[in-house]
Structure formats: C-alpha cells, structure tokens
Structure 1
Amino acid sequence: MEERGIRFVRLWFTDVLGSLKSVAIAPAEVEGAIAEGVGFDGSAIEGFARVFESDMVAHPDPSTYQVLPWRQAGRSTSRMFCDIRLPDGSPSFADPRFVLKRALEKAANLGFTFYIHPEIEFFLLSSLHPPVPLDQGGYFDHTTLGDGTDFRRDVITILEQMGISVEFSHHEAGPGQHEIDLRYADALTMADNIMTFRVVVREVAVSQNIQATFMPKPFSEHPGSGMHTHMSLFEGDTNVFYDAADQYNLSKTAKQFIAGLLHHAPEITAVTNQWVNSYKRLIGGAEAPSYACWGRANRSALVRVPQFTPGKMSSARIEYRAIDSAVNPYLAYAVLLNAGLKGIENEYPLPEETEDEVWRLTDRERKAIGIRELPRNLDEAIRIMDESELVAETLGEHVYEYFLRNKREEFAAYRQQVTPWELERHLGTL
C-alpha cells in the first residue's frame, strides 16, 4: 500500500439481496481490521439482524485485496471482500458469502471443487428515465456504435488490472445490450468477481456519461439480460463431468448433477431469478428458458450441454440458462450447487434429452414427456420455495425467512401498480 500510495481501503460485502456494501478505512487500520475486524450496525443492512442483535463484525479477506484502477492518483483506493461474523467470532448466518462457503464445504467433503464461468449481459443507456439504448447494434455487430464503441475494451482493461480474466466480449442481440464472459474460477472467487464486475461496469459508464443496468428485462420489445452460467465439478485436476466412453462425453456424475438441477429447478428459481422483473425475461419464444429440460444444441432448454472440445477434457461442462445478471451470485451458486449435489447423492435419473423448441410444444405434449414449467412470476416462485427443504437448508433459517418475507413484500407492492399497458388497453374502452 505504501509503494502504491494507497490512501483508502474499502471493505466490501453484500446484503441478502446482493447489494454491495462498503466502508472505507485508512491503511494504518488494515492490520487491526484483519486481526480483529471492523464493527458495524447489522440492523441497518438488509436482512442482517434485528435491532436488539445488531452488532456485527466485518473481517477482511486479504486474499481478495486489489487496487481500484479507476481511482485517481493521490486518492488511490484498494478493496477487500469481507466475511461477516458475530462479536464472539462465529460466522453470521446472514452473510451471503458464508452461505456459499457452507455449500462449497459440503462439496469439498464429497471431494469436489465447484468451478463457474458466467456470461454476463447488461444494457448501456443514453437515458435512464425513460430508458433509451445507447446504440442500435445487434448480435455480434462490429460497427461504429457511437459512445459505446470502446466501452467493453475499457471495462476489460480494468478487470484484467484487478486480476479478473475475461474470455469473450461482444454486442448482444438487443439495442444497447452487451455481454462479457469471465474466465473459469472457483465459485467463491467468481461470486466476488461478479460483484466487482458490476462495480467496474457502472464506474466506466459514469466516466463516459452513460448509464449501465443489469435489470433483467428493461424493454418489452427486446431480449432480456441473462447470466448463463457454465459449471463443472473437479476432483483435484480431474474434471469429473467428463467420460470419454459416453456418447455425450458426460459422466454418470454429470448426468446426476443435471438431473438434480432439473428436479429442483422450480424451487430454486426465486433465488436465481429474484426480482418481479426477472419473470418478464423467462417467457417462451426467446432464448431464456421457461421449462425444466436439457439438451445439447437446444438453446430453449434450461440446462444445455455445450459441445465438448476434443482432447480437452477440462472443457466438459454444463450450462444453466435461467439465472439473470441481477442475481445475488453467492446465494444463486449455493442453491445451484446443492441442487446438483442432491442429484448425485440420491442418484437421480436423467430424463431424455429434449431436441424440440420446448415453447412450441403444447401443454399436453410437455406433460407427456415429463417437462415441468418454471414459475411464471415471483409470487409462484416464492410459494414453491416456501415448501423447499433444499433451499431452506442451503440458505439457512435466517436468510431463508428474510428472503421470503422481502420477496412477498416486493410482489405485494407490484400487484398494486397500474401499468401503462392497462391504461392504454382499457382506460378508454371500459
């Protein structure tokens, strides 16, 4: 810190809904913060504590230390992610990072390391109210798109300066919509990286006098923003999803993991798609999935098995396509992991592959081949989650109860709103 002239160190953590929280300390306080933590009022943080049990302590994780490149010289700032604990040193069950750590520990006890590779979509806007796309580009367009031409390059440059590797970036299908894919990392590192990614995207946007949003579906007429997530399990250096003898190069473990995801998909959807707006994206007819099925080339499926790269067994993986980019990544990756592990532990059988575009089938045809629909809205999702032992065990009682309560309140507020669509359709005719 002395060599780089660091003036401030920001301690980062997230609330239950995935909003980033931060407190700045001076470099002279870092040693004490690492040894003893930094106390704060947990009752002021969404979902952390009630007033009479409010004292909490943020303990910085030194392995996450990085300089924030966008801060100017003379005001140089770095950051560390924190684990949240109670005053007696025990983990806070309200800490989303601890929820994911607990799921990863379960996987580790079975011999597995969980790796993640997300494709993160977002919109760039020239105006926020009303939302106006920054450009009129389309999928993979390489054209002069105005102010956003260098945006992705600038974001990637900062990410790489912070030790976050990027695999791909391109313009997405919607006007003003972009995608940046982060390189594989273990799930905890990746959840931290996603939180950092959102900050970087917004910081670069502000520096260019534009707006960035991770809202799942800001435009009715354009595709929504997802965060398709590629997943694999390793035992040491061995990818346990790979089997050279299988026609799909999928091991028994991989098939059971997929079966677990499909079986538990409806009950985890409230976590992977936690906003009222998330369900405007999960509508049939686009690449966002509406039904719990799997396939290889089928991009209407909830779980896709990407084509295996010959001679590269580490590339064997599966892709979960429902999750959106406004998610709390710590909670989402915890429920996805535990759903897959449940399939392995109980040896769930893998259903037949679905080759059809699922939304073109009739309800009777889908029922006949055993394909279940994902929840159609947040209310339906939380009702299913309310009955889920898997989600309750994964999140822990505190986070589980708070999450359900918060989402019920969100949907109740949404139900009271009169939308422009209703006014346009009915005001003059009813």
Structure 2
Amino acid sequence: MGSPAERRGDARELAAWLEREGVRTLALTWVDNAGIARVKAIPAARLAYAAQRGIGMSPVFDVYTSEDVMTESEHISGPSGDLRLFPDPDRVTVLAAQPGWAWAPADRYDQKGEPHPACQRRFARTMAERATAAGLDLRMGFETEWVVTRAPTGHDPAQDDAFAPLEYPCTGPAYGMTRIVELSDYLRDVAEALALQGIEVHQIHPEYAPGQFEVSCAPGDPVRAADDAVLVRETVRAVSVRHGLRASFAPSVIAGQVGNGCHLHLSLHRDGTSLHRTPDAAWGLAPDAVAFLGGVLDALPALMAVGCPSPASYLRLQPSHWAGVYQCWGIENREAALRLIPGAPDDPDGGHAEIKTFDGAANPYLVVGAAIAAGLHGIESGARLPDPESEDPGTLTVRERARRRIVRLPGTLTEAADRFEKSAPLHDAMGKVLHGAVLAVRRAEETRFAEADDEELAAATRWRW
C-alpha cells in the first residue's frame, strides 16, 4: 500500500482530480459474507485522510446475514473492536449514473495496520498472488444477470412489498429483440454508464425470464474482475432507479422461474501463452490447465457454499435449466457445471472455462479466491478431468448417470455448507477466521429459512441483492 505519507500525497492529487470532475462524495464498499455490498461514504475532500488513516467500521459485519441479523463465529462476534477501511486509489471511479459521486473498493486492516484476516478482497488478492508465484497468469470475468420490475400501481411504499405482485417492463420472447426495443433507452444507458466507468462490455442482451438481462464483461486479473462485478451491479441498480425501475440480482426472483446466475469465466496462461491452446493435447488443455480445472470440478460441492450462498440459491439450481446442477464438465455443454469454451480456432488467446452454478448472492471476492484455491490444490495434488459430457445429465436415467459417475451437486445450503466445513483446501486457503465467519453466516441463513416454503423464501430474499 505504500507508506502513510505516500498514500496521503497520492490521495491529495486524486482528491483534486475528483473535485475537478464535480465529485463531492466517495462511496467505499466492501462485500460481506452474505454477498451484500456494505458502504461507508465520505466527502471526496477527505480522501487523503482515508488513504492515510482509514475509515472506521465494525468487524461484526463479517457475521451479518443477508437480512442484517448479527450472528457470531468463534473469532468474530459482538459490538467490540474496530477496523479501518482503506480505499484502493487505483480503482477510484467517477459514477456515471450518480452525479457528484465516486466509488472505490476498500481493503480492511486492524487498528495496528495489520491486514484483517477476514478481508475477502485481501483473500482474493492472496490467492491471485499464489497463482502468479506458480507461474500462472489467471484472467477472470463475470456474467451478471438481473431482473427489472416496476412497482405495482397504487402500492403503498410504507408496507413491506416483498410479497407484492411484480410488474415487468418488457414482455417479449426470451432472448428476443422485442425486449431490446421495449427497454432500448434503459439498456443504452446501462452500457454507456459502464463504458464511462472503464468497464469493457462484451455483451448485453435479454435472458430467459421476464424482465431479465445479462451483461458480460472483459476478463482481467482476479481482483479487478471481482471489483468490476461489484461496480457493474451498483451501476445497473443506479441506472434502473433513474428509469423508474427496480433491479434484482437475487438467485430466485419468483419461485419456479429461471433465476439469476453470476457465472465465473476463467482462463490460464503462462509466459504469454494460453494453456487452452496446447497442440495435440486432449481438449487442447495443457497439463496444468487439466489439473487446475480438475481441482475446481472436484471442489464444486464445497465451492457451492461460496458461490451459491443463500437457501434461495437452491431454488435456481434445477436440472435442464442451464444452471449446471450435476458435477460434470463438458465442451460447450451448458448443462455441465464446468463448461469448457474452446473459442475461435484462429484466436491464439482464445479458450476458457465457465463455472455455471454460481449466482448473484455470492461475494465475488470469495468466489475468485476460492476458485483459485481449488485450482491450485488441483495442480498440487495432480487432479485429473474425467471424460467430458456432451448430453444433458438431467435427461439420463439414474443408472446411466451412475455408470458415468455423474452425481448431483448439493441441493440445499445445508449440504453445501457441510462440504465446505470439511474442505481442508478451502479452510487452509481462507484461514480459520474467514472460513469460520463464512460458515457461521451459512448456518444462520439455514436456520432462518428452515421452515419457509419456496414462495416465501424467494419473496423474502428477492430485494436483498
């Protein structure tokens, strides 16, 4: 981070630039273990102070649930203690859809200046550094899906609207141009705001469910990819408000309908060469790419507690819905949990993999860090990939799936949390403080919704993300 004096000097220049850009307030965000982006906002003129001394916040947010209920872990509980938020000056961004505002992700330290052991962004950075030390150049990016609605006519905003019927602003066919026409001004403004903020958009298009859209962003280093995922979501939310819409990134907006995913894409390179383009190798994958992806595939049952962190996540995970509910991989198979995308033959940097199970309730820093940890463990342990699957596992008989050794991934948060609790690679990578806090939040979410039916669960969580 540099010395306090260096940070303060750089921040003064940055604050002067923000003033010239008309920015008066800076939002500092971190994402908690329930996947909620929390914030402390400061006057932009106070940036130099924040860069040198940090901004105070309680460590208890690491054991907040998605409903803002404080639980506790072995290492984090109660009101005592304080941390410091330090904005990342390299990611300070003027917000295109919130005039007068800028944003920066924050790293968290204790009062003595030591890194907070439960800082999710630090975890992602540490795992990325380990990959670099192993000679790997990892590039990651997220697909973000969301649903936009209008508030019902005559709805009383003083009442809880969780159970109110939803009105969709577009009714055209899934993936259809009609939906673009119906919301062309809105989608143009989303794309423009992202571009002004330095986010390179590869695609923006309608999805399957009513009012559902997706934006795919260019890959970058893992921490930047997670930062971008946060910025994309809050930008979409801000543009939606300006258009009289409400955006939900929840895994299940309406029980029984297709939910929102947040798929992670990743590619591996070494010395400037793609490990997805190895001549004469099976599937074009270099040995380390096979082992890395094999480690991810092996760890998926435990990774689901990270990437599918809400009981509502498991409403989305239904067979034959392109959600990847079976522990298998395939080449361009959208029903496989791990999808290999070879890319264009004439693109030397082409080729990557996609983890399809993850959703918008997940903390993106935990997602990239845990995926890297699983992949590096795969390399260390010599993991292998089984034969790829080309069919939809959901259409196979139970006997055929058993013959091919295809198993269903956890169908509840309890099952996923049990696997996460027993995962030595993830425990070792996260450390006992972060691992324990994640597990405590998952157990609290299980208990909270243990008696809820599907409709109650979706309604109670649809506006949390």
Same fold, judged at TM 0.5 (above): yes
After TM superposition, the structure 1 stretch with the greater mean CA deviation from structure 2, 157-166 or 353-362, is 353-362
Q: Which of 385, 388, 399 is matched with 1:364 structurally?
A: 399
The CA deviation at 1:44 is 5.3
2:125 to 84, 94, 101: 101
| Letter in structure 1 aligned against 2:112 | D
Code of the residue aligned with 1:112 in structure 2: it is L
What does 1:74-85 correspond to in 2, within 5 Å?
A: 76-85=100-109
Task: Determine helix, strand or coil for the equivalent of 1:21.
Answer: strand
1:235-384 to 2 correspondences below 5 Å: 235-246=270-281, 248-384=283-419
Match of 2:226 in 1: 191
Q: What is the alpha-carbon root mean square deviation over aligned residues?
A: 2.1
Counterparts of 1:294 and 1:16, CA distance in 2 = 28
Match of 2:41 in 1: 24
Aligned residue runs from structure 1 range 195-214, under 5 A: 195-214=230-249
Cα distance change on mapping 1:45 and 1:265 into 2, 3 Å: closer
Which residue does the alignment assign to 1:399? 434
Shift of 1:234: 2.2
Confirm or deny: 8 A CA contact 1:331 1:395 kept in the other structure: no
Residue of structure 1 in register with 2:60 after alignment? 43
Aligned CA distance change for structure 1 residues 420 and 374 (closer, same or farther; 3 Å): closer
Letter in structure 2 aligned against 1:240: L
Q: Which residue matches 2:253?
A: 218
Aligned residue identity for 1:182: C
In structure 2, relative to structure 1, the CA distance for the partners of 1:157 and 1:87 (3 Å cut) is same
Q: Distance in 2 between matches of 1:267 and 1:14?
A: 20
Instruction: Supply the AA of the counterpart residue of 2:36.
Output: S
In the superposition, the TM-score normalised over structure 2's length comes to 0.85
Does the 8 A contact of 2:169 with 2:211 survive in 1? yes
> 1:168 maps to which residue?
203
Deviation per CA, 1:35-73, whole angstroms, max 9, x where unpaired? 22222333356459434751111111110111112233x
State the shift of 1:137 in Å: 2.5
Report sequence identity in percent.
28
Q: TM-score, normalised by structure 1?
A: 0.92
Q: What is the deviation of 1:376?
A: 0.7
Equivalent residue, structure 1, for 2:175: 140
CA distance in structure 2 between the partners assigned to 1:6 and 1:297 by the alignment:
45
Q: Which runs of 4+ in 1 moved over 6 A?
A: none
1:202 Cα shift?
Answer: 0.9
Which residue in 1 is equivalent to 2:459? none
- In structure 1, C-alpha distance between the alignment counterparts of 2:58 and 2:259, rounded to whole Å: 36
Deviates most, 124-133 or 45-54: 45-54
Which has the higher mean CA deviation after the structures are superposed, 59-68 or 133-142?
133-142
Q: 1:64 is matched with which residue?
A: 91
Cα pair distance change 1:44/1:249, threshold 3 Å:
closer
Q: Is the 8 A contact 1:42 1:49 kept in 2?
A: yes
Extract unaligned runs of 5+ from structure 2. 1-17, 65-74, 152-160, 457-465
Checking the alignment, whether the CA contact within 8 Å between 2:62 and 2:118 is kept in structure 1 is: no
Cα gap change, 1:370/1:143 in structure 2, threshold over 3 Å: closer, same or farther?
A: same
Q: Distance in 2 between matches of 1:418 and 1:39?
A: 39
Q: Could you tell me whether the CA contact under 8 Å between 1:99 and 1:396 is conserved in 2? A: no
Counterparts of 1:231 and 1:306, CA distance in 2: 10
Q: Specify which structure has the bigger relative contact order, considering alpha-carbon pairs within 8 angstroms and separated by 6 or more residues.
A: 2
Is 1:14–1:95's contact at 8 Å kept on the other side of the alignment?
Answer: no
| Structure 1 pair 393–132 and aligned structure 2 pair: CA distance change class (3 A) | farther
Check whether the contact 2:180–2:187 (CA below 8 A) recurs between aligned residues. no
Preserved CA contact (<8 Å) 2:170 2:179 = no
Distance 1:309 1:63 in 2: 33
SS at match of 1:217: coil
Unaligned runs of at least 5 residues, structure 1: 422-430
State the alpha-carbon separation in 2 of the partners of residues 247 and 334 from structure 1.
Answer: 27
Matches within 5 A, 1:390-429: 390-417=425-452
1:334-357 CA deviation, whole Å, 9 max, x = no partner?
Answer: 111111111112111210111221
Task: Determine the C-alpha separation between the residues in 2 that align with 1:6 and 1:349.
Answer: 51
Residue 4 of structure 1 is matched in structure 2 by 21
Whole-angstrom distance in 2 between the partners of 1:259 and 1:45? 31
Q: Is the 8 A contact 1:138 1:172 kept in 2?
A: no
